[in-house]
Amino acid sequence: MVIKNRSTFFCQGSFEDSPNFPSCHFLETVPQKIIDKEINPFVDKWEEEGQFPAHKVFKILGQAGFLGVDKPTEYGGMGLDFSYNIAVAEELGNVRCGGIPMAIGVQAGMATPALTRFGSHELKKQFLVPTIAGDFVACLGISEDGAGSDVANIKTTAVRKGDEYVINGGKMWITSGSQADWMCLLANTSKGPPHQNKSLICLPMNLPGIHVAKKIDKLGMRSSDTAQIFFEDVRVPCKNLIGEEGKGFTYQMLQFQEERLWGVATALTPMETIIQETIDYTGQRKVFGQPVLHNQTVHFRLAELATEVELLRSLLHRAVALYVEGNDVTKFASMAKLKAGRLTREVTDSCLQFWGGMGFTNEVLVSRFYRDLRLMSIGGGTDETMLSIICKYMDILPRK
C-alpha cells in the first residue's frame, strides 16, 4: 500500500484519540503551510549564503508546536508519542534541501531526548523549555576530529573541580554550531572504562573559553552551518549534568535510535520528489525522436526505485511502532539507516543520469539532493558502523 500522506499511517487507532493531539489534519497541513511560506521560498538564498537563520525558522516552528511533538506538555511539548515526531519528519522532507530538516532534527530529536528522559526539572526548565519554544538553538556535541562513529574514543574531558566541571577538548561536524545557544555535550568525566566514563552535560555556548574555530565548507547540506569548536578551561556548573555521571555513553546510544529513525524519515519524501520530477522531465525530454521515459531501462528503473522507497518506509514504520511499544529497535533502526544511506545514493545517482547534462547543473533539485543525501551513509553512524551493529544483533560479529 502506498501511503500518500505520511502522517496518515500514524493517525490510526488509538493515536488519534490522544487528548493532547489537535487532529491528524493539523499534522498533514500545518507543516506544509510553514514550509511553503517560511522556508522553501528562501532555500536557494540560504544555500548560497551557507546558513539559514535558525533562530527565526525555529521560532516559527516552535510556535506551531513542531519542536516538541513528543515532549511533555509540562515543558511546552505536545505530549505525543514518537510516531508523531516521525510523521513530522516525513513532512519536513518537502523542504527543498537537506540541511534545514537535518538542523531541525538536531533541535527536536538529537540534542534533547536524553535531557527529556534523564535531566532534572531545573535543567529542563532552563534548556528544554526554550528549545521547544524555538527561543534557543541547540546543537549536539559528540563527534571529534578523531572520533566520529567511534563514540567511545572521544577525548574531550570534563574534570570536576568543586561544584563545576572544567572542560577541555574540541568537537567537529557540529550542526548549527555557529548559531547554537547551548550544546548537549558528551565528555569524559573520569578515567574509567570508555563505555562507563562519559557524561552528557548541558553547555551554554556563551561561556568563556568556547571558541567556534570555523564554519566548515561542505559538499552538501550547504544551508546548515556546521562548525568546529574548541573548549579551553570552560567552566560549567555540575548541576548541568544530565542524569547520572558516567551514564553518558548509554544515554547517547538511546538517543541514536531516535536520531537514525528521524534521518530515515526525512529522506523518504525527497526520494519520492526526485523520482516524480524525473518522471516529469523524462516524459518531456526527447532523445532520438521519443521521450526518454519511453525507454524501458528508464521506466523500469524508476519503478524499481519507487518500490525500494516503499519497502524502506515499511521498515521504518515497523521500527517506530515497536519503539513506541517500548522495544529496543537498535537492530531495525540500524537496518533502516543502512538501507536509507544506500538507497538515497541509488535514487539520486540513477535519476541524475536520466536528466543528462541538466542533472550536472545546480539548477535542478536532483543535483542538490545528490550532494545533500550523500551524508546519510556517514552522519549519525556510517554504513559500516550500521553493519557492525546488525552483525552484533545477529550474533555473527567476531569477538575480540
Give the residue extent of every domain in the chain.
Answer: 24-137, 140-246, 250-394
Write out pLDDT tens, residues 102-112: 999 999 999 99
CATH code reported for the domain at 250-394: 1.20.140.10
Q: Assess whether 259 carries a catalytic annotation.
A: yes
Q: Which residues contact 310 (CB under 8 A, 6 or more apart)?
A: 2
Please tell me which residue in 90, 245, 259, 272 is annotated as part of the active site.
Answer: 259
Do 192 and 15 contact (CB within 8 A), yes or no?
A: no
- Residue 313 in 3-state DSSP? helix
Write out pLDDT tens, residues 352-383: 999 999 999 999 999 999 999 999 999 999 99
Q: How many CB atoms lie within 10 A of CB 294?
A: 13
Kindly indicate whether the domain formed by 140-246 is annotated with CATH number 2.40.50.90: no
Asked, colleague to colleague, whether 24-137 and 140-246 share their fold, the answer is no
Helix (H) or strand (E) holding 117: helix 113-118
24-137 fold: Butyryl-Coa Dehydrogenase, subunit A; domain 1 (1.10.540)
pTM of the model: 0.91
CA distance 99 to 96: 9
User: pLDDT tens digits for the chain (400 residues)?
Assistant: 233 344 444 444 333 444 333 445 556 656 889 999 999 999 999 999 999 999 999 999 999 999 999 999 999 999 999 999 999 999 999 999 999 999 999 999 999 999 999 999 999 999 999 999 999 999 999 999 988 888 999 999 999 999 999 999 999 999 999 999 999 999 999 999 999 999 999 999 999 999 999 899 999 999 999 999 999 999 999 999 999 999 999 999 988 999 999 999 999 999 999 999 999 999 999 999 999 999 999 999 999 999 999 999 999 999 999 999 999 999 999 999 999 999 999 999 999 999 999 999 999 999 999 999 999 999 999 999 999 999 999 999 998 7
Report helix angle 330-355 to 365-372, nearest 10. Answer: 140
Helix (H) or strand (E) holding 100: helix 99-105
